[in-house]
Amino acid sequence: MRNKLLALTACLLASTASYAADPGVSDTEIKIGDVNIMTGPASFIGRAVAVGSKIAAAEINEAGGVNGRKITIVTEDDGYIPARSFQALTKLIEVDEIFALNGTSGTANVLAMMPLIEENNLPTVVTTAPNELVYDPVRPSVFTIGGSYSDAFYGQLKYIHENLEPENPVYGLIRQDDDFGGAIEHGYERAIEEFGVKDGLRVRFKKGTANFAAEVAQMKQAGVNVLANGGIIAGAANILGEARKLSMDMQVASVWSEDMPPSVNLSAPAGYDYLVADYVALNGPDYDRFMEKARKYASEEEVAAINRYTLVTYVGLSALAEAMKQCGQELTRDCTIEKLRGLKNFDTQGVAAPISFDNEQQLSGTALAIYQLNAADKSFKRLTDFTDY
């Protein structure tokens, strides 16, 4: 009997030791990390991301959690500074002992964290920076949700070409002189070549540029009446403001950041009913249902902070939770990664296109819907269903 008890104890200890190899999981809790922009000029993005995680976790926990375990979100601020992102994730891994990562800040930030993600085999869902640099080359534990800037601009220009049909179209591009701008130009060039339209002018600018008078004057001189506006927030608004001063009549394609309230408030006074392409719902019944959840699980102040990043982060954590559920009680990072890799047509309740990571890039949610701003009342009208371009 004594030998049997010793053998049983040894088995239990071995099982416990093996299971304890992956941190962040207890009998009652799963810790999910979030490295985010909670301070600085871009903090409105980080606050929106945090609300998305909170809504998803609250909904999952109210429904019984992940096989009885409650999700706890542990957030660290990186101030949008890549070096701080690395430090923040180091703290989350070594001190907080997170199991997985859902909040990943911007492109440069997630790339700065990538060595830690790979070294720790950390299941990671990237939702705020779906840049090709994140998923090419593919990292085994990293899964990305979102369309590309290239496809977003191609899709918008395709809609303009086929539906708005500007008279004697002359296309123009203004974009940052970096990888982000290069992705936009890739979509622009694809459209120019496919539609056989006139390529009037391409202009590059340095990140942080505030005065676009000279660049827009060149656009005016070139006769541009279809503009691919690669500016972001204040930059995009300044470009449109200069165009309005010159009484330019044009159709405008924009970065998806321009559907957020702070961006709209800056750009709408110029009076352009610009387009955006986004991989989340900005309005409609599905959006309304999401907002009902938001009011249930978040404070008034948090609801006021909601923007597109809230929805995509909600989708990311929901997909991660679904993969963890499929692992049953023996939850490990390896199993979670395996189940994420096999995830197919996960229902986002209409907040985005269904999520499927069963592809070589472990990339999903690439389908984009085209929206048009009504500058007069600052609302968006949905023009298309979610479409892959």
pLDDT at 8: 47
Asked if residue 157 is part of any domain, the answer here is: yes
Residues 273, 330 within the same domain: no
Alpha carbons 130 and 114: distance in angstroms, whole number: 14
Residues 108, 177 within the same domain: no
Residues 134, 43 within the same domain: yes
**Given pLDDT bands bounded at 50, 70 and 90, which one contains residue 21?**
low
Asked if residue 14 is part of any domain, the answer here is: no
Number of folded domains that form the chain: 2
C-alpha distances in Å from residue 214, one per residue of 169, 178, 204? 22, 20, 12
For the cut 60, the answer to whether the pLDDT of residue 14 exceeds it is: no
Task: Tell me which residue of 21, 10, 5 sits closest to 330, measured CA to CA.
Answer: 21
Phi then psi dihedrals of residue 330, to 5 deg: -85, 70
Mean pLDDT score, 194-215: 96
Flag the least confident range among 14-28, 178-192, 242-256, 327-341: 14-28
pLDDT digits (tens, 9 = 90+) for 270-316: 999 999 999 999 999 999 999 999 999 999 999 999 999 999 999 99
pLDDT digits (tens, 9 = 90+) for 169-188: 999 999 999 888 998 999 99
Three-state secondary-structure class, residue 174 = strand
Task: Tell me which residue of 297, 253, 364 sits closest to 62, measured CA to CA.
Answer: 297
Residues 269, 317 within the same domain: no
Q: In which domain, by residue range, is 265 found?
A: 149-278+370-382
Domain CATH for 131 = 3.40.50.2300
Report the amino acid identity of residue 180. F
Alpha carbons 152 and 368: distance in angstroms, whole number: 7
Long-range contacts of residues 356-359, Cβ cutoff 8 Å, at least 24 apart: 357/143, 357/319
pLDDT digits (tens, 9 = 90+) for 64-111: 999 999 999 999 999 999 999 999 999 999 999 999 999 899 888 999
Mean pLDDT score, 313-331: 97
Residues 156, 260 within the same domain: yes
| Between 318 and 7, residue with greater pLDDT | 318
Asked if residue 231 is part of any domain, the answer here is: yes
Burial of 57 (0-12, 13-18, 19+ CB in 10 A): buried
Alpha carbons 283 and 49: distance in angstroms, whole number: 18
Residues 79, 130 within the same domain: yes
Residues 237, 345 within the same domain: no
